[in-house]
Structure 1
Amino acid sequence: MDVTSILFFGSAGLCSILLAICVGLIAISNKYPIIMRSRNEKYFIDPNTGKYIEFPVFSDMPTLHLSVIIPAYNEEARLPPMLDECIEYLEDRARGSNFKYEIIVVSDGSVDNTVLVAKKYCKQLGVDKFRILELETNRGKGGAVRLGMLSARGSMLLFADADGATKFSDLSKLELSLTEVLEGNYLNDPDFVASKEAIAVGSRAHLESESIVSRSIFRTILMYGFHTIVWLFAVKHIKDTQCGFKLLTRKAAESCFESLHVERWAFDAELLYIAKCLNIPVTEIPVNWTEIEGSKIIPIWSWLQMGKDLVIIWLRYQIGAWDIAAKKKS
Protein backbone atom coordinates (compact mmCIF):
# COMPACT_ATOMS: atom_id res chain seq x y z
CA MET A 1 0.00 0.00 0.00
CA ASP A 2 1.46 3.35 -1.04
CA VAL A 3 1.66 6.51 1.09
CA THR A 4 -1.36 8.10 -0.63
CA SER A 5 -3.57 5.14 0.25
CA ILE A 6 -2.36 5.12 3.85
CA LEU A 7 -3.13 8.81 4.20
CA PHE A 8 -6.56 8.36 2.58
CA PHE A 9 -7.65 5.45 4.75
CA GLY A 10 -6.12 7.03 7.84
CA SER A 11 -8.00 10.28 7.28
CA ALA A 12 -11.22 8.37 6.61
CA GLY A 13 -10.74 6.44 9.84
CA LEU A 14 -10.13 9.60 11.87
CA CYS A 15 -13.19 11.29 10.34
CA SER A 16 -15.31 8.25 11.20
CA ILE A 17 -14.08 8.31 14.79
CA LEU A 18 -14.77 12.05 15.09
CA LEU A 19 -18.23 11.62 13.60
CA ALA A 20 -18.97 8.80 16.04
CA ILE A 21 -17.82 10.98 18.95
CA CYS A 22 -20.06 13.86 17.80
CA VAL A 23 -23.07 11.59 17.36
CA GLY A 24 -22.43 10.11 20.81
CA LEU A 25 -22.12 13.53 22.44
CA ILE A 26 -25.39 14.69 20.87
CA ALA A 27 -27.12 11.52 22.03
CA ILE A 28 -26.04 11.79 25.68
CA SER A 29 -26.20 15.59 26.07
CA ASN A 30 -29.02 17.83 27.24
CA LYS A 31 -29.17 20.98 25.12
CA TYR A 32 -29.77 23.08 28.23
CA PRO A 33 -28.62 22.13 31.74
CA ILE A 34 -31.02 20.49 34.15
CA ILE A 35 -30.50 22.36 37.42
CA MET A 36 -31.23 19.92 40.23
CA ARG A 37 -32.15 21.27 43.64
CA SER A 38 -33.76 19.26 46.41
CA ARG A 39 -36.53 20.66 48.57
CA ASN A 40 -34.17 21.07 51.55
CA GLU A 41 -31.70 23.01 49.40
CA LYS A 42 -34.35 25.66 48.76
CA TYR A 43 -34.30 26.64 52.44
CA PHE A 44 -31.80 27.98 54.95
CA ILE A 45 -31.92 27.84 58.74
CA ASP A 46 -31.91 30.84 61.05
CA PRO A 47 -29.60 29.54 63.82
CA ASN A 48 -30.98 32.10 66.27
CA THR A 49 -34.59 30.88 65.96
CA GLY A 50 -34.24 27.43 64.41
CA LYS A 51 -36.75 28.37 61.70
CA TYR A 52 -36.45 27.27 58.07
CA ILE A 53 -36.69 30.17 55.61
CA GLU A 54 -37.05 29.84 51.85
CA PHE A 55 -34.43 31.39 49.62
CA PRO A 56 -35.76 34.08 47.24
CA VAL A 57 -36.49 33.51 43.58
CA PHE A 58 -33.71 34.83 41.34
CA SER A 59 -36.20 36.46 38.97
CA ASP A 60 -37.22 38.83 41.79
CA MET A 61 -35.88 42.37 41.76
CA PRO A 62 -32.71 42.85 43.83
CA THR A 63 -33.16 44.05 47.39
CA LEU A 64 -29.45 44.47 48.25
CA HIS A 65 -26.45 46.07 46.65
CA LEU A 66 -24.06 43.11 46.83
CA SER A 67 -24.24 39.35 47.32
CA VAL A 68 -21.01 37.49 48.07
CA ILE A 69 -21.12 33.80 47.16
CA ILE A 70 -18.51 31.58 48.82
CA PRO A 71 -18.39 27.94 47.68
CA ALA A 72 -16.92 25.79 50.43
CA TYR A 73 -16.08 22.09 50.48
CA ASN A 74 -14.46 20.94 53.74
CA GLU A 75 -13.14 24.43 54.48
CA GLU A 76 -13.40 24.54 58.29
CA ALA A 77 -9.75 25.63 58.62
CA ARG A 78 -9.45 28.17 55.78
CA LEU A 79 -12.93 29.71 55.97
CA PRO A 80 -12.63 31.79 59.21
CA PRO A 81 -9.71 34.03 58.09
CA MET A 82 -11.44 34.66 54.76
CA LEU A 83 -14.77 35.51 56.44
CA ASP A 84 -13.07 37.77 59.00
CA GLU A 85 -11.46 39.83 56.23
CA CYS A 86 -14.59 39.85 54.09
CA ILE A 87 -16.93 40.89 56.92
CA GLU A 88 -14.58 43.57 58.21
CA TYR A 89 -14.41 45.16 54.74
CA LEU A 90 -18.16 45.01 54.11
CA GLU A 91 -19.10 46.22 57.59
CA ASP A 92 -16.75 49.19 57.26
CA ARG A 93 -18.45 50.10 53.99
CA ALA A 94 -21.95 49.66 55.43
CA ARG A 95 -21.22 51.76 58.51
CA GLY A 96 -22.81 55.19 58.09
CA SER A 97 -24.19 54.47 54.60
CA ASN A 98 -27.13 52.77 52.92
CA PHE A 99 -24.93 49.97 51.54
CA LYS A 100 -26.58 46.57 52.05
CA TYR A 101 -24.89 43.23 51.51
CA GLU A 102 -25.26 39.53 52.15
CA ILE A 103 -22.84 36.63 52.34
CA ILE A 104 -23.96 33.18 51.21
CA VAL A 105 -21.69 30.31 52.18
CA VAL A 106 -22.49 27.29 50.01
CA SER A 107 -21.39 24.12 51.77
CA ASP A 108 -20.83 21.75 48.85
CA GLY A 109 -21.65 18.52 50.64
CA SER A 110 -18.97 19.15 53.28
CA VAL A 111 -18.30 16.33 55.75
CA ASP A 112 -16.21 18.37 58.21
CA ASN A 113 -17.27 21.31 60.42
CA THR A 114 -17.63 23.86 57.60
CA VAL A 115 -21.33 24.39 58.35
CA LEU A 116 -20.75 24.73 62.12
CA VAL A 117 -18.05 27.34 61.47
CA ALA A 118 -20.37 29.28 59.15
CA LYS A 119 -23.22 29.13 61.68
CA LYS A 120 -21.13 31.03 64.22
CA TYR A 121 -20.88 33.94 61.77
CA CYS A 122 -24.56 33.63 60.91
CA LYS A 123 -25.53 33.93 64.57
CA GLN A 124 -23.34 36.99 64.89
CA LEU A 125 -24.55 38.86 61.79
CA GLY A 126 -28.10 37.53 61.44
CA VAL A 127 -29.72 35.95 58.39
CA ASP A 128 -30.33 39.24 56.63
CA LYS A 129 -26.56 39.51 56.14
CA PHE A 130 -25.38 35.91 56.33
CA ARG A 131 -26.97 32.73 55.01
CA ILE A 132 -25.83 29.14 54.61
CA LEU A 133 -26.87 26.98 51.68
CA GLU A 134 -26.23 23.33 52.56
CA LEU A 135 -26.01 21.10 49.51
CA GLU A 136 -26.89 17.50 50.31
CA THR A 137 -24.28 16.05 47.95
CA ASN A 138 -21.08 17.41 46.47
CA ARG A 139 -21.86 19.17 43.16
CA GLY A 140 -18.47 20.63 42.36
CA LYS A 141 -17.40 24.24 42.62
CA GLY A 142 -19.38 25.33 39.55
CA GLY A 143 -22.55 23.70 40.81
CA ALA A 144 -22.12 25.29 44.24
CA VAL A 145 -21.50 28.75 42.79
CA ARG A 146 -24.52 28.46 40.50
CA LEU A 147 -26.94 27.55 43.30
CA GLY A 148 -25.48 30.31 45.47
CA MET A 149 -26.05 32.79 42.66
CA LEU A 150 -29.63 31.62 42.18
CA SER A 151 -30.25 32.18 45.90
CA ALA A 152 -28.90 35.74 45.97
CA ARG A 153 -30.66 39.08 46.41
CA GLY A 154 -27.94 41.44 45.20
CA SER A 155 -27.76 43.86 42.31
CA MET A 156 -24.16 42.72 41.88
CA LEU A 157 -22.93 39.22 42.66
CA LEU A 158 -19.37 38.31 43.59
CA PHE A 159 -18.10 34.79 43.98
CA ALA A 160 -14.95 34.43 46.02
CA ASP A 161 -12.95 31.37 46.98
CA ALA A 162 -13.13 30.21 50.59
CA ASP A 163 -9.34 30.13 50.94
CA GLY A 164 -9.07 33.94 51.02
CA ALA A 165 -6.19 33.90 48.54
CA THR A 166 -7.43 37.13 46.96
CA LYS A 167 -7.33 40.35 48.97
CA PHE A 168 -11.02 41.12 49.50
CA SER A 169 -10.52 44.88 49.32
CA ASP A 170 -9.66 44.38 45.63
CA LEU A 171 -13.41 44.20 45.14
CA SER A 172 -13.27 47.99 44.72
CA LYS A 173 -11.07 47.54 41.61
CA LEU A 174 -13.63 45.24 40.01
CA GLU A 175 -16.46 47.61 40.92
CA LEU A 176 -14.67 50.59 39.38
CA SER A 177 -14.10 48.63 36.18
CA LEU A 178 -17.81 47.78 35.83
CA THR A 179 -18.83 51.34 36.70
CA GLU A 180 -16.80 52.54 33.71
CA VAL A 181 -18.22 49.83 31.42
CA LEU A 182 -21.85 50.37 32.45
CA GLU A 183 -21.62 54.12 32.99
CA GLY A 184 -23.55 53.56 36.18
CA ASN A 185 -22.77 52.89 39.83
CA TYR A 186 -24.63 50.07 41.55
CA LEU A 187 -24.27 51.80 44.91
CA ASN A 188 -26.31 54.74 43.61
CA ASP A 189 -28.62 52.98 41.14
CA PRO A 190 -28.71 49.25 41.92
CA ASP A 191 -31.79 48.47 39.79
CA PHE A 192 -30.25 50.03 36.67
CA VAL A 193 -26.97 48.16 37.06
CA ALA A 194 -28.77 44.89 37.88
CA SER A 195 -30.57 45.06 34.54
CA LYS A 196 -27.34 45.43 32.53
CA GLU A 197 -24.81 42.77 31.58
CA ALA A 198 -21.13 42.96 32.46
CA ILE A 199 -18.50 40.87 34.25
CA ALA A 200 -15.22 41.79 35.93
CA VAL A 201 -12.76 38.98 36.63
CA GLY A 202 -9.88 39.12 39.04
CA SER A 203 -6.59 38.09 37.46
CA ARG A 204 -3.26 36.67 38.64
CA ALA A 205 -1.67 36.93 35.18
CA HIS A 206 0.61 39.76 36.33
CA LEU A 207 2.13 37.39 38.93
CA GLU A 208 2.91 34.64 36.43
CA SER A 209 6.53 35.61 35.76
CA GLU A 210 7.29 35.41 39.49
CA SER A 211 5.61 32.01 39.94
CA ILE A 212 7.41 30.47 36.96
CA VAL A 213 10.72 30.81 38.82
CA SER A 214 9.56 28.37 41.50
CA ARG A 215 7.94 25.90 39.09
CA SER A 216 9.55 22.91 37.40
CA ILE A 217 10.00 23.04 33.62
CA PHE A 218 7.40 20.27 33.24
CA ARG A 219 4.76 22.19 35.24
CA THR A 220 5.56 25.38 33.32
CA ILE A 221 5.07 23.57 29.99
CA LEU A 222 1.74 22.15 31.20
CA MET A 223 0.63 25.61 32.40
CA TYR A 224 1.37 27.19 29.02
CA GLY A 225 -0.31 24.25 27.32
CA PHE A 226 -3.46 24.86 29.36
CA HIS A 227 -3.37 28.59 28.52
CA THR A 228 -3.08 27.69 24.83
CA ILE A 229 -6.12 25.41 25.04
CA VAL A 230 -8.09 28.18 26.79
CA TRP A 231 -7.04 30.61 24.03
CA LEU A 232 -8.04 28.18 21.27
CA PHE A 233 -11.27 26.76 22.67
CA ALA A 234 -12.68 29.27 25.20
CA VAL A 235 -11.68 32.95 25.31
CA LYS A 236 -8.78 34.84 23.79
CA HIS A 237 -8.82 38.16 25.65
CA ILE A 238 -8.75 36.82 29.23
CA LYS A 239 -5.34 35.65 30.44
CA ASP A 240 -6.50 34.15 33.75
CA THR A 241 -9.87 32.39 33.56
CA GLN A 242 -9.49 30.42 36.80
CA CYS A 243 -9.07 33.09 39.49
CA GLY A 244 -11.86 32.63 42.03
CA PHE A 245 -12.82 36.29 42.31
CA LYS A 246 -15.44 37.36 39.74
CA LEU A 247 -18.05 40.10 39.90
CA LEU A 248 -21.21 39.93 37.77
CA THR A 249 -24.27 42.07 37.36
CA ARG A 250 -27.49 40.27 38.25
CA LYS A 251 -28.56 40.07 34.61
CA ALA A 252 -25.18 38.71 33.50
CA ALA A 253 -25.31 36.07 36.24
CA GLU A 254 -28.75 34.97 35.08
CA SER A 255 -27.75 34.81 31.41
CA CYS A 256 -24.59 32.81 32.07
CA PHE A 257 -25.47 30.49 34.93
CA GLU A 258 -28.79 29.31 33.50
CA SER A 259 -26.84 27.78 30.58
CA LEU A 260 -23.77 26.57 32.51
CA HIS A 261 -23.32 22.82 32.08
CA VAL A 262 -19.95 22.22 33.74
CA GLU A 263 -20.08 21.95 37.52
CA ARG A 264 -16.43 21.12 38.21
CA TRP A 265 -13.17 23.08 37.86
CA ALA A 266 -13.60 24.08 34.21
CA PHE A 267 -16.82 25.98 34.92
CA ASP A 268 -14.99 29.35 34.91
CA ALA A 269 -13.90 28.86 31.31
CA GLU A 270 -17.39 27.83 30.19
CA LEU A 271 -18.84 30.84 32.03
CA LEU A 272 -16.57 33.19 30.07
CA TYR A 273 -17.21 31.30 26.83
CA ILE A 274 -20.96 31.85 27.31
CA ALA A 275 -20.34 35.52 28.07
CA LYS A 276 -18.32 35.81 24.83
CA CYS A 277 -21.12 34.19 22.81
CA LEU A 278 -23.64 36.62 24.32
CA ASN A 279 -21.36 39.64 23.74
CA ILE A 280 -21.32 40.41 27.46
CA PRO A 281 -18.49 42.86 28.27
CA VAL A 282 -15.78 41.19 30.38
CA THR A 283 -12.91 43.10 31.97
CA GLU A 284 -9.81 41.54 33.55
CA ILE A 285 -8.43 43.28 36.63
CA PRO A 286 -5.12 42.46 38.38
CA VAL A 287 -5.66 41.50 42.03
CA ASN A 288 -3.45 40.78 45.00
CA TRP A 289 -3.19 37.02 45.43
CA THR A 290 -1.37 34.77 47.88
CA GLU A 291 -1.21 30.98 47.63
CA ILE A 292 -2.90 29.42 50.67
CA GLU A 293 -2.07 25.89 51.80
CA GLY A 294 -4.82 23.30 51.53
CA SER A 295 -5.79 23.70 47.86
CA LYS A 296 -7.86 20.84 46.48
CA ILE A 297 -6.44 21.34 42.98
CA ILE A 298 -3.66 18.95 41.97
CA PRO A 299 -1.77 21.14 39.45
CA ILE A 300 -0.71 18.59 36.82
CA TRP A 301 -3.80 16.37 36.95
CA SER A 302 -6.21 19.31 37.24
CA TRP A 303 -4.67 21.14 34.24
CA LEU A 304 -4.90 17.98 32.12
CA GLN A 305 -8.48 17.35 33.24
CA MET A 306 -9.55 20.95 32.61
CA GLY A 307 -7.79 20.97 29.24
CA LYS A 308 -9.75 17.90 28.17
CA ASP A 309 -12.98 19.41 29.52
CA LEU A 310 -12.40 22.63 27.55
CA VAL A 311 -12.07 20.75 24.27
CA ILE A 312 -15.26 18.79 25.00
CA ILE A 313 -17.10 21.99 26.02
CA TRP A 314 -16.11 23.69 22.76
CA LEU A 315 -17.03 20.64 20.68
CA ARG A 316 -20.44 20.26 22.31
CA TYR A 317 -21.32 23.88 21.55
CA GLN A 318 -20.01 23.63 17.99
CA ILE A 319 -22.10 20.57 17.10
CA GLY A 320 -25.23 21.87 18.84
CA ALA A 321 -25.22 19.29 21.65
CA TRP A 322 -25.25 22.26 24.05
CA ASP A 323 -26.84 25.65 23.52
CA ILE A 324 -27.23 28.94 25.37
CA ALA A 325 -30.70 29.65 26.75
CA ALA A 326 -30.31 33.43 26.60
CA LYS A 327 -29.74 33.25 22.81
CA LYS A 328 -33.02 31.38 22.42
CA LYS A 329 -34.89 34.02 24.46
CA SER A 330 -33.47 36.86 22.38
Structure 2
Amino acid sequence: MLKETVEHLEGRKNSDKNFSYEIIVVDDASNDGTGNYALEFSKSNKGIELKVLTLEKNRNKGGAVTQGILCASGEYILFVDADGATKFSDLDYLERELNKIISKEGYGIAVGSRAHLVKTEAVVKRSFIRNFLMHSFHKVLYILGIRTIKDTQCGFKLFTRKSALNIFNNTHVEGWIFDIEVLLLAQYFNMPIVEVSVNWHEIDGSKVSLIKDSIKMAIDLLIIRLNYLLGIWKVNDYSSSLGKSKNE
Protein backbone atom coordinates (compact mmCIF):
# COMPACT_ATOMS: atom_id res chain seq x y z
CA MET A 1 0.00 0.00 0.00
CA LEU A 2 2.82 2.43 0.84
CA LYS A 3 4.51 1.97 -2.53
CA GLU A 4 1.22 2.50 -4.39
CA THR A 5 0.50 5.60 -2.29
CA VAL A 6 3.86 7.20 -2.97
CA GLU A 7 3.73 6.45 -6.69
CA HIS A 8 0.33 8.10 -7.01
CA LEU A 9 1.17 11.18 -4.94
CA GLU A 10 4.55 11.68 -6.60
CA GLY A 11 2.85 11.42 -9.97
CA ARG A 12 0.46 14.20 -9.04
CA LYS A 13 3.30 16.27 -7.62
CA ASN A 14 5.30 15.95 -10.83
CA SER A 15 2.33 17.01 -12.96
CA ASP A 16 1.17 19.87 -10.73
CA LYS A 17 3.77 22.21 -9.25
CA ASN A 18 1.19 23.54 -6.75
CA PHE A 19 0.48 20.07 -5.34
CA SER A 20 2.16 18.96 -2.13
CA TYR A 21 1.53 16.10 0.27
CA GLU A 22 2.64 14.35 3.41
CA ILE A 23 2.19 10.73 4.43
CA ILE A 24 1.80 9.91 8.12
CA VAL A 25 2.19 6.25 9.03
CA VAL A 26 0.81 5.55 12.50
CA ASP A 27 2.38 2.54 14.20
CA ASP A 28 -0.11 1.63 16.91
CA ALA A 29 2.44 0.04 19.25
CA SER A 30 2.47 -2.92 16.89
CA ASN A 31 4.91 -5.83 16.93
CA ASP A 32 4.85 -6.43 13.18
CA GLY A 33 7.61 -3.99 12.28
CA THR A 34 5.30 -1.43 10.64
CA GLY A 35 7.25 1.56 11.92
CA ASN A 36 10.63 0.18 10.94
CA TYR A 37 9.37 -0.80 7.49
CA ALA A 38 8.08 2.74 6.88
CA LEU A 39 11.35 4.28 8.05
CA GLU A 40 13.42 1.99 5.83
CA PHE A 41 11.09 2.75 2.91
CA SER A 42 11.66 6.45 3.49
CA LYS A 43 15.44 6.01 3.52
CA SER A 44 15.41 4.18 0.20
CA ASN A 45 13.02 6.70 -1.39
CA LYS A 46 14.69 10.03 -0.82
CA GLY A 47 12.61 13.15 -1.24
CA ILE A 48 9.21 11.73 -0.33
CA GLU A 49 7.18 13.41 2.42
CA LEU A 50 6.80 10.56 4.92
CA LYS A 51 6.52 10.71 8.70
CA VAL A 52 6.21 7.85 11.16
CA LEU A 53 4.21 8.30 14.35
CA THR A 54 4.88 5.49 16.82
CA LEU A 55 2.50 5.17 19.76
CA GLU A 56 3.92 3.79 23.00
CA LYS A 57 0.58 2.22 23.91
CA ASN A 58 -1.94 0.55 21.63
CA ARG A 59 -4.86 2.93 21.02
CA ASN A 60 -6.88 0.71 18.66
CA LYS A 61 -7.86 1.81 15.17
CA GLY A 62 -9.86 4.87 16.19
CA GLY A 63 -7.19 6.15 18.55
CA ALA A 64 -4.43 5.64 15.98
CA VAL A 65 -6.38 7.41 13.22
CA THR A 66 -7.17 10.30 15.55
CA GLN A 67 -3.54 10.82 16.50
CA GLY A 68 -2.47 10.74 12.88
CA ILE A 69 -5.11 13.24 11.79
CA LEU A 70 -4.34 15.65 14.62
CA CYS A 71 -0.70 15.64 13.46
CA ALA A 72 -1.61 16.34 9.83
CA SER A 73 -0.95 19.73 8.27
CA GLY A 74 -2.65 19.53 4.89
CA GLU A 75 -5.63 21.31 3.40
CA TYR A 76 -7.26 17.91 2.81
CA ILE A 77 -6.78 15.01 5.21
CA LEU A 78 -7.32 11.39 4.16
CA PHE A 79 -7.22 8.35 6.37
CA VAL A 80 -6.77 4.97 4.75
CA ASP A 81 -6.27 1.43 6.03
CA ALA A 82 -2.77 0.14 5.45
CA ASP A 83 -3.87 -3.32 4.25
CA GLY A 84 -4.29 -2.24 0.64
CA ALA A 85 -7.93 -3.30 0.41
CA THR A 86 -8.76 -0.06 -1.39
CA LYS A 87 -7.07 1.37 -4.47
CA PHE A 88 -5.23 4.51 -3.40
CA SER A 89 -5.73 6.29 -6.72
CA ASP A 90 -9.46 6.41 -5.88
CA LEU A 91 -8.44 9.41 -3.81
CA ASP A 92 -8.90 11.43 -7.00
CA TYR A 93 -12.58 10.45 -7.13
CA LEU A 94 -13.12 11.38 -3.49
CA GLU A 95 -11.38 14.71 -3.96
CA ARG A 96 -13.42 15.54 -7.06
CA GLU A 97 -16.73 14.80 -5.32
CA LEU A 98 -15.65 16.55 -2.12
CA ASN A 99 -14.91 19.76 -4.02
CA LYS A 100 -18.51 19.77 -5.24
CA ILE A 101 -20.04 19.86 -1.76
CA ILE A 102 -17.70 21.94 0.43
CA SER A 103 -19.77 24.46 2.36
CA LYS A 104 -18.98 28.16 2.65
CA GLU A 105 -17.75 27.41 6.19
CA GLY A 106 -15.16 25.02 4.77
CA TYR A 107 -16.84 21.80 5.84
CA GLY A 108 -17.04 18.66 3.74
CA ILE A 109 -16.40 14.90 3.90
CA ALA A 110 -16.09 12.30 1.13
CA VAL A 111 -16.73 8.76 2.37
CA GLY A 112 -15.35 5.84 0.41
CA SER A 113 -18.04 3.21 -0.08
CA ARG A 114 -18.24 -0.51 -0.91
CA ALA A 115 -22.05 -0.46 -1.00
CA HIS A 116 -22.04 -1.01 -4.77
CA LEU A 117 -20.44 -4.41 -4.14
CA VAL A 118 -23.30 -5.86 -2.08
CA LYS A 119 -24.27 -8.27 -4.86
CA THR A 120 -20.80 -9.45 -5.72
CA GLU A 121 -19.88 -13.12 -5.44
CA ALA A 122 -17.71 -12.56 -2.35
CA VAL A 123 -20.62 -11.02 -0.43
CA VAL A 124 -23.21 -13.52 -1.65
CA LYS A 125 -21.04 -16.39 -0.38
CA ARG A 126 -20.79 -14.93 3.12
CA SER A 127 -22.26 -17.06 5.90
CA PHE A 128 -25.80 -16.52 7.15
CA ILE A 129 -24.56 -15.23 10.50
CA ARG A 130 -22.21 -12.72 8.87
CA ASN A 131 -24.97 -11.34 6.65
CA PHE A 132 -27.39 -11.31 9.58
CA LEU A 133 -24.98 -9.30 11.71
CA MET A 134 -24.33 -6.90 8.83
CA HIS A 135 -28.03 -6.18 8.31
CA SER A 136 -28.60 -5.88 12.06
CA PHE A 137 -25.78 -3.37 12.26
CA HIS A 138 -27.40 -1.23 9.55
CA LYS A 139 -30.74 -1.36 11.39
CA VAL A 140 -29.08 -0.02 14.54
CA LEU A 141 -27.38 2.73 12.54
CA TYR A 142 -30.75 3.73 11.11
CA ILE A 143 -32.13 4.05 14.64
CA LEU A 144 -29.11 6.14 15.63
CA GLY A 145 -29.89 8.56 12.82
CA ILE A 146 -27.30 7.62 10.20
CA ARG A 147 -29.63 6.96 7.29
CA THR A 148 -27.98 8.34 4.17
CA ILE A 149 -24.56 6.61 4.31
CA LYS A 150 -24.75 3.00 3.12
CA ASP A 151 -21.18 2.05 4.07
CA THR A 152 -19.95 3.67 7.27
CA GLN A 153 -17.00 1.36 7.93
CA CYS A 154 -14.86 1.69 4.79
CA GLY A 155 -11.39 2.80 5.84
CA PHE A 156 -11.03 5.42 3.14
CA LYS A 157 -12.37 8.86 4.13
CA LEU A 158 -11.35 12.33 2.98
CA PHE A 159 -11.95 15.49 5.03
CA THR A 160 -11.38 19.17 4.60
CA ARG A 161 -8.96 20.32 7.27
CA LYS A 162 -11.64 22.20 9.20
CA SER A 163 -13.94 19.17 9.19
CA ALA A 164 -11.26 16.75 10.33
CA LEU A 165 -9.93 18.84 13.19
CA ASN A 166 -13.35 19.86 14.47
CA ILE A 167 -14.46 16.22 14.46
CA PHE A 168 -11.35 14.50 15.80
CA ASN A 169 -10.86 17.02 18.59
CA ASN A 170 -14.27 15.84 19.85
CA THR A 171 -14.05 12.06 19.45
CA HIS A 172 -14.08 9.64 22.39
CA VAL A 173 -14.38 6.14 20.88
CA GLU A 174 -11.13 4.45 19.88
CA GLY A 175 -12.35 1.02 18.78
CA TRP A 176 -13.53 -0.25 15.36
CA ILE A 177 -16.79 1.66 15.73
CA PHE A 178 -15.14 5.09 15.80
CA ASP A 179 -16.35 5.78 12.23
CA ILE A 180 -19.91 6.04 13.59
CA GLU A 181 -18.98 8.74 16.09
CA VAL A 182 -17.15 10.59 13.31
CA LEU A 183 -20.30 10.63 11.17
CA LEU A 184 -22.54 11.57 14.11
CA LEU A 185 -20.29 14.53 14.87
CA ALA A 186 -20.31 15.50 11.20
CA GLN A 187 -24.11 15.54 11.33
CA TYR A 188 -24.02 17.61 14.51
CA PHE A 189 -21.98 20.30 12.71
CA ASN A 190 -24.19 19.99 9.59
CA MET A 191 -21.19 19.02 7.48
CA PRO A 192 -22.05 17.97 3.92
CA ILE A 193 -21.14 14.34 3.27
CA VAL A 194 -20.84 12.55 -0.06
CA GLU A 195 -20.50 8.78 -0.47
CA VAL A 196 -18.18 7.72 -3.29
CA SER A 197 -17.80 4.20 -4.69
CA VAL A 198 -14.24 2.87 -4.47
CA ASN A 199 -12.38 -0.19 -5.70
CA TRP A 200 -12.10 -2.73 -2.91
CA HIS A 201 -11.16 -6.35 -2.43
CA GLU A 202 -11.21 -8.70 0.54
CA ILE A 203 -7.92 -9.02 2.42
CA ASP A 204 -7.12 -12.27 4.21
CA GLY A 205 -5.93 -12.16 7.79
CA SER A 206 -8.52 -9.75 9.19
CA LYS A 207 -8.09 -9.03 12.89
CA VAL A 208 -11.85 -8.74 13.39
CA SER A 209 -13.48 -11.55 15.38
CA LEU A 210 -16.99 -12.01 13.97
CA ILE A 211 -18.89 -12.68 17.21
CA LYS A 212 -16.66 -10.96 19.78
CA ASP A 213 -16.21 -7.75 17.82
CA SER A 214 -19.87 -7.64 16.76
CA ILE A 215 -20.90 -7.69 20.42
CA LYS A 216 -18.28 -5.08 21.27
CA MET A 217 -19.45 -2.83 18.42
CA ALA A 218 -23.08 -3.14 19.56
CA ILE A 219 -22.09 -2.12 23.09
CA ASP A 220 -20.03 0.78 21.76
CA LEU A 221 -22.97 1.96 19.64
CA LEU A 222 -25.16 2.04 22.74
CA ILE A 223 -22.47 3.88 24.71
CA ILE A 224 -22.08 6.50 21.97
CA ARG A 225 -25.82 7.10 21.78
CA LEU A 226 -26.34 7.34 25.55
CA ASN A 227 -23.37 9.60 26.22
CA TYR A 228 -24.51 12.15 23.65
CA LEU A 229 -28.19 11.91 24.60
CA LEU A 230 -27.44 12.39 28.29
CA GLY A 231 -24.98 15.20 27.63
CA ILE A 232 -22.08 13.32 29.24
CA TRP A 233 -19.99 13.91 26.14
CA LYS A 234 -19.93 17.56 25.21
CA VAL A 235 -19.36 18.75 21.65
CA ASN A 236 -17.13 21.81 21.32
CA ASP A 237 -16.76 24.00 18.27
CA TYR A 238 -13.04 24.51 17.60
CA SER A 239 -13.59 26.54 14.42
CA SER A 240 -12.15 29.79 15.76
CA SER A 241 -9.03 28.13 17.15
CA LEU A 242 -8.15 25.66 14.39
CA GLY A 243 -4.70 26.10 12.90
CA LYS A 244 -4.28 26.76 9.21
CA SER A 245 -2.70 24.24 6.88
CA LYS A 246 0.84 24.63 5.65
CA ASN A 247 -0.64 25.43 2.23
CA GLU A 248 -2.58 28.46 3.47
TM-score (norm 2): 0.91
Matched, 1:86 2:2: no
CA contact (8 A) 1:205 1:239 kept: yes
Q: Which residue of 2 aligns with 1:122?
A: 42
Q: Which of the residues 267, 275, 279 maps onto 2:190?
A: 279
CA distance in 2, matches of 1:166, 1:225: 25
Q: Which residue of 2 aligns with 1:224?
A: 135
Q: Superposition pairs for residues 229-248 of structure 1, below 5 Å?
A: 229-248=140-159
Matched, 1:204 2:114: yes
Q: Per chain length, whose mean CA-contact separation is higher, i.e. which structure has more relative contact order (CA < 8 Å, sep 6+)? A: 2
Give the count of matched residue pairs: 239
Query: How far 1:120 sits from its partner (Å)?
Result: 1.4
CA contact (8 A) 1:203 1:285 kept: yes
CA contact (8 A) 2:6 2:48 kept: no
| Structure 2 stretches lacking a partner, 5+ long | 242-248
Q: Superposition pairs for residues 1-330 of structure 1, below 5 Å?
A: 82-98=1-17, 99-126=19-46, 129-182=49-102, 196-210=106-120, 211-326=122-237
| Structure 1 stretches lacking a partner, 5+ long | 1-81, 184-192
CA distance in 1, matches of 2:172, 2:204: 29
CA contact (8 A) 1:198 1:282 kept: yes
Query: How far 1:167 sits from its partner (Å)?
Result: 0.7
Query: How far 1:128 sits from its partner (Å)?
Result: 6.3
Answer with 133-142 or 203-212: which moved more: 203-212
1:244-267 Cα distance to aligned partner (Å, 9 max, x none) = 000000000111001000011110
CA contact (8 A) 1:223 1:303 kept: no
3-state SS of 1:294 partner: coil
1:258-282 Cα distance to aligned partner (Å, 9 max, x none) = 1000011110000000001110111
CA contact (8 A) 1:226 1:304 kept: no
CA contact (8 A) 1:161 1:244 kept: yes
Distance 1:289 1:320, change over 3 A: same
Q: Which has the larger radius of gyration?
A: 1
Amino acid corresponding to residue 127 of structure 2 in structure 1: S
1:10-31 Cα distance to aligned partner (Å, 9 max, x none) = xxxxxxxxxxxxxxxxxxxxxx
CA contact (8 A) 1:158 1:247 kept: yes
3-state SS of 1:325 partner: coil
CA contact (8 A) 1:163 1:292 kept: yes
Query: How far 1:123 sits from its partner (Å)?
Result: 1.4
Pairwise CA RMSD of aligned residues? 2.0
3-state SS of 1:133 partner: strand
Amino acid corresponding to residue 89 of structure 1 in structure 2: H
Query: How far 1:304 sits from its partner (Å)?
Result: 2.4
Amino acid corresponding to residue 95 of structure 1 in structure 2: N
CA distance in 2, matches of 1:305, 1:205: 23
1:186-217 Cα distance to aligned partner (Å, 9 max, x none) = xxxxxxx9x71110000011111224411121
Query: How far 1:100 sits from its partner (Å)?
Result: 0.7
CA contact (8 A) 1:234 1:272 kept: no
Q: Percent identity?
A: 47
CA distance in 2, matches of 1:147, 1:133: 8
TM-score (norm 1): 0.69
Query: How far 1:133 sits from its partner (Å)?
Result: 0.3
CA contact (8 A) 1:234 1:269 kept: no
Query: How far 1:96 sits from its partner (Å)?
Result: 3.6
3-state SS of 1:196 partner: coil
Query: How far 1:92 sits from its partner (Å)?
Result: 0.9
3-state SS of 2:159 partner: strand
Amino acid corresponding to residue 143 of structure 1 in structure 2: G
